Amino acid sequence: MYATRARRARPEPFLARPGIVERLGLPYMDAPLALSAIALIAFSVFVLSQATLQDVPGNPDYYVDRQVVYGVLGIAGMLALTRVDYSRFRELRVGFYTFLCVSIALIFVFGIAARGSRRAFELPFFSFQPSELGKLLLVLALAGFVIDGARRGSDRQRTVRYLCLGLAPAALVFLQPDLGTSLVFGAATLAVMYFGGVRWTHFAVIGGALVALIAMVLVVAPAVGTPLLKGYQAERLTSFLNPSQDPRNAGYQQHQALIAIGSGEKTGRGDQATQTRLDFVPERSTDFIFAVIGERYGFLGAAFVLSLYALLLWRALRIVTLSKNYYGTLVAGGIAVSLLFQVFVNVGMNLGIMPITGIPLPLVSYGGSSVLATFLAIGVLQSIHIQARLSQKGRFAW
Amino acid sequence: MYLRSDGRRSNGLALRIGVLVGLSVALFAVLFFRLWDLQVLSGSKYLEEANNNRTRSFRVEAPRGKILDSRGKVLVENRTSLALQVNPQKLPSRPARRRVELARLGALAHMSPHQVRATMREQLAVSAGAPITLRRDVGYDLVYYLQENAVRFPGVQVQRVFVPKYPHGSLAAHVLGTVGEINEAELKEPLHRNLAPGDEVGKGGVEQTYDRYLRGKPGTTRIQVNALGEPTPGVQLVSKPPVPGNSLKLSLESNVQEAGEQALAGEGLPGAFVTMNVHNGQILALGSYPTFEPSVFTKPLTQPQVNSLYRNPLSLSPLTNRATEGLYPTGSTFKLITAMAALNSGVITPETTIVDNGALTVGGESFHNSGGASYGAVNLVSALQVSDDVYFYTLGYKMWTTGALQHWAHLLGIGRPTGIDLPEHQNGLLPSKQWQEREYRRGVVEGPWSPGNNIQLATGQGSLQTNPLQMAIAYATVANGGTVPTPHLGMQIDDSAGRVLKEFDPPPRRHVHVDPTYRASILEGLHKAAQAPGGTSYAVFGGFPIPVAGKTGTAERPPKREQSWYIVLSPYPNPRIVTAVTIEEGGFGAESAAPAALKILEAYYGKHPRGSAGPNGGSPG
């Protein structure tokens, strides 16, 4: 079993006055996890510095400067969280959940609109998108509720309760409308339930209901004349099935992204990258940044980024197994699955095998809320790792 | 089997983690394989697609070749001009504002909003993304106005284009033809396979006949564009330069042409003339009056221009080339053909005399000499000299059942294609027994074939319909000893560097046996008609220093006034050129057509003095 595996010797923290390294908890952090996250944000800054020179007239470093600030803030946030015992978050579950729902609901009142969708608060220097932080808060709160309710009610009641708790904020986000983030909420909810031990048969029922829902939304409802999705949404969801069919409309972006990635070939086109440089691929600093990487740096660059994510997820899944308590397992599982979901859906969208849903690529897409929230989530993972290490040592440092 | 929250991992949790790890590996494998497929396996296909995406090709117009006269004088050349273009991508996107701007533009370019929309639709269908040419040859004042008000006209640009220039105004307008945008019907012709809408092609005249030589090959400019189709600066792509068209040298002699046009204009009546080398069919001058300015077709026509060009009463339509499209009776100029037919069918010999009592009566119907004259006993020479109608009535009567007159008229080219290199031509009509009877059955003509019909044809009256070119060919054939020349204007094609690419010398249409004694008698008769006292045109040509052989004609076209004809071979006795002139409602042949022909000959011989053989001279066989 995991617990009995022989570990590399760690420096013993018996110094009278612990140094800065010691006080940051660095010796007990999972180095590959932290390094892969830092490598991803560094690569993001590198890509933005080369690909967005002309995006903001007169300010070639607009995106780079901001992404560097978000990265530094994110790393600081991650380090700060490592010093907190994540187990305390369980006590804050109701507060988290309330904050999550209220902040998303307030968007409808105070939020700023961008492209027909209200997703963020306008703050000085920064527009804050609560649904990004919400991914982490939902996992922390829901994991607490699962542990609370583990002995109450029947299995079926519990399953329904968790589903309702998870889907309420997801529905709020869906109404912004932000389909992509609400799907991430759904994935995180299912992940927490999965590690919370919800029966396989219940998952089979949920899966069946999902398939039925998709069929109804995309096929049945339009057929009977009451479409539930807006026309462009339905088009975006289905056009990936045959992106080159009509390059002028729904499948255009995706087709252009495909051409961009394909044209990168093995080693990339560098500054000859016309697809992403000449505006054929939209949203090149956010949703379609993977297409930029694919075109500029070819298979080498794109596979490098994918490998970093593979490393990051491997370490995250490993932390699921290491956690000293069940709450940590649930939290780590929820975070790992939501990261996996975002990476797969975003890269899959760039590669033309998933629908366009507007999910950013964690740590690589430009955007303060997403970068910060992802680093905070990794900070929680680190906290779980550190606590596990310390409990194995038989002592609690803080 | 709910898990306890005691931190101990059960087998259930291990299984769940294992499943998730397996799922993650599978998802990453999908991404990696898809990436490998896109970038490594089919990367080159996508690279090509990306390059197609970013480049746009635009056609670059090639200048058309020049048209020169036989001395190298420029008749048509190019000038660069400005065309008003609209870039559809830069027009306002709001339909209402777009409409307003297009309406304003249309007003500036003298186009209705409907025309603007139609033009845009037409050109967009063919080359989406390329700028649309609204109007060619706009003035500089309009361009300056647009530049000063550029803010009010987004998406409007000005492009240099080539426009034909006619340094001599309307000179030889009917020969040259015009140039215009290719239309839908023309686009479908195999000849125009490589052309696109908006391209210019020759319309009428030698511009049309020799279009494939005159037209250049358009080049292409390739530029890099972004997703909005806007050019991106600083990128050089391979472009194909346009190839200018070749120039065409005509057999036309500008001074002769000018003299002919001035002579007709001086009469002020519709008419036509042609001067042709009798041996090889090269046309030295060919014109029609009223004429037009070909340069008006380089811009959209204004309503007064349309009215004057197209809505004239038919008899005045200036675009008709009366020299090749006219359909006229010829009057006495036809007598040369009647004489050839009678001589060759044995009806007469050159010496045969016929007594002219002033009229010929056949079947109760009398055919009188014009002016009520009677000349007594006449032979062929004297009959031609005085244009004795009764002599030729008699010949017509004697041949009314044999068809010899029709046979010889047909051989000499009356009522059949001439082979001229102009798209505008009419074959005319040679009345015959078969034709008359067919038309009689259809109820078009009044009676069956009668001696009267043939008697009228013998003097160029009745249902005969021909034109100056066909008559010139008939005279040339007799004069050169039996070769029916192919009339042509195009002589040679030079490329833009001046190298000769092609020379045109079409072979004769056919050969006709012309007995030298018959030829000599006929030419003598015509010579005396022109230059011996008592000849029908002695008053006009008696004092002309060059010996000529000319025949007047006065065709009756009631209710109009008579049509005046004159056809003259010169120099006598071995003619080099034939000149045919006709003037509608010009009265007697000697009254208007002969003086006009004299002016043409004066111009010709002013340049080619009597002794010289001329550019294509030589004696006939």
pLDDT in tens, A194-221: 998 888 899 999 999 989 988 887 777 7
Burial class (CB in 10 A: 0-12, 13-18, 19+), B499: exposed
Name residues whose C-beta falls within 8 Å of residue A10's C-beta, 6 or more positions apart in sequence: A27, A28, A389, A393
Instruction: Tell how far CA B525 is from the center of its chain.
Output: 36
Interface test with B, best of A265, A274, A320, A384 (most B CBs within 10 A): A274
pLDDT at B615: 43
Contacts of A326 in chain B (CB under 8 A): 3-7
List the structure tokens of B547.
């010996």
Strand partners, B201: B180
Interface test with B, best of A93, A154, A263, A340 (most B CBs within 10 A): A263
ipTM for the predicted complex = 0.88
B50/A275 touch (CB, cutoff 8 Å), yes or no: yes
CATH architecture of structural domain B254-309+321-607:
3-Layer(aba) Sandwich (3.40)
pLDDT score of A250 more than 90: no
List the structure tokens of A213.
């829902």
Determine contact, residues A255/B46, Cβ cutoff 8 Å: no
Local mean pLDDT, 10-residue blocks, chain B (621 residues): 44 86 94 92 86 75 90 90 78 77 80 80 65 76 78 76 88 91 79 76 91 87 72 70 90 94 92 95 94 84 76 73 93 94 93 90 86 87 92 93 93 94 92 92 88 92 93 96 94 89 93 94 94 91 92 89 93 93 91 93 79 40 33
Helices and strands, number each (H, E), in chain A: 16, 3
**Measured CA distances, B100 to B37, B95, B566 (Å):** 50, 9, 61
pLDDT at A281: 82
Residues of chain B with CATH 3.40.710.10: 254-309+321-607
* Dihedral of the alpha carbons of B449, B455, B458, B464, in degrees to the nearest 10: -50
Q: Measure CB to CB from residue B3 to each of A197, A274, A294 and give the nearest one.
A: A197
Strand arrangement, sheet containing B271-277: B283-289, B271-277, B577-583, B563-570, B549-555
Instruction: Tell how far CA B389 is from the center of its chain.
Output: 38
Q: Measure CB to CB from residue B36 to each of A1, A269, A299 and give the nearest one.
A: A299
Contacts of B9 in chain A (CB under 8 A): 1-2, 321, 329
Taking the C-alpha atoms of residue B414 and residue B427, their distance in angstroms, rounded to an integer, is 8
End-to-end Cα separation, chain B, in angstroms: 125
pLDDT at B7: 43
Tell me, yes or no, if B26 comes closer than 8 A to chain A by beta carbon: no
pLDDT score of A12 more than 80: no
A263/B4 touch (CB, cutoff 8 Å), yes or no: no
pLDDT at B616: 43
pLDDT at B130: 65
SS3 category, B238:
coil
Kindly calculate the radius of gyration of chain B based on its CA atoms and give it in whole angstroms. 36
Contacts of A253 in chain B (CB under 8 A): none
Contacts of A329 in chain B (CB under 8 A): 9, 13
Taking the C-alpha atoms of residue A8 and residue A181, their distance in angstroms, rounded to an integer, is 39
Average of per-residue pLDDT values in chain A: 84
Q: What are phi and psi of B426, to 5 degrees?
A: -125, 145
pLDDT at B517: 94
pLDDT at B8: 46
Compute the Cα dihedral for B47, B48, B53, B59 and give only its sign: positive
Interface test with B, best of A192, A201, A278, A308 (most B CBs within 10 A): A278
Tell me, yes or no, if B507 comes closer than 8 A to chain A by beta carbon: no
pLDDT at B307: 77
Determine contact, residues B546/B571, Cβ cutoff 8 Å: yes
**Measured CA distances, A28 to A10, A31, A33, A363, A395 (Å):** 8, 8, 12, 23, 13
Contacts of A261 in chain B (CB under 8 A): 35, 38-39, 46
Residue type, B220: T
Q: Please choose, from the candidates B280, B614, B275, the residue with its C-alpha nearest in 3D space to the C-alpha of residue B477.
A: B280
End-to-end Cα separation, chain A, in angstroms: 27
Percent of chain A, pLDDT > 90? 42
The CATH number assigned to the domain with range B57-81+158-248 reads 3.90.1310.10
Residue of chain A with shortest Cα separation from B5: A326
Determine contact, residues B460/B501, Cβ cutoff 8 Å: no
Residue B557 has a CB neighbour count (10 Å cut-off) of: 14
Burial class (CB in 10 A: 0-12, 13-18, 19+), B365: exposed
Q: What are phi and psi of A146, to 5 degrees?
A: -60, -45
Residue B160: half-sphere exposure toward Cβ, Cα within 13 Å: 6
Task: Give the A:B interface size as CB pairs under 8 Å.
Answer: 142
Q: Please choose, from the candidates A40, A3, A34, the residue with its C-alpha nearest in 3D space to the C-alpha of residue A391.
A: A3
Name residues whose C-beta falls within 8 Å of residue A135's C-beta, 6 or more positions apart in sequence: A181, A184, A185, A188, A338, A373, A377
**Measured CA distances, B282 to A18, A66, A315, B70, B103 (Å):** 113, 83, 95, 10, 51
Residues of chain B with CATH 3.90.1310.10: 57-81+158-248
Name residues whose C-beta falls within 8 Å of residue A65's C-beta, 6 or more positions apart in sequence: none
**Measured CA distances, B434 to A381, B417, B464 (Å):** 110, 19, 14
**Measured CA distances, B6 to A91, A150, A309, A323 (Å):** 17, 11, 31, 12
pLDDT band at residue A398 using 50, 70 and 90 as cut-offs: very low
pLDDT band at residue A116 using 50, 70 and 90 as cut-offs: low
Q: Please choose, from the candidates B305, B266, B309, B279, the residue with its C-alpha nearest in 3D space to the C-alpha of residue B174.
A: B309
Q: Can you list the alpha helix ranges (DSSP code H) found in B415-464?
A: 433-441, 451-458
Taking the C-alpha atoms of residue A121 and residue A126, their distance in angstroms, rounded to an integer, is 9
List the structure tokens of B251.
């057999």
Taking the C-alpha atoms of residue A357 and residue A118, their distance in angstroms, rounded to an integer, is 16
Secondary-structure percent of chain A, ordered helix, strand, coil, rounded to 5? 70, 5, 30
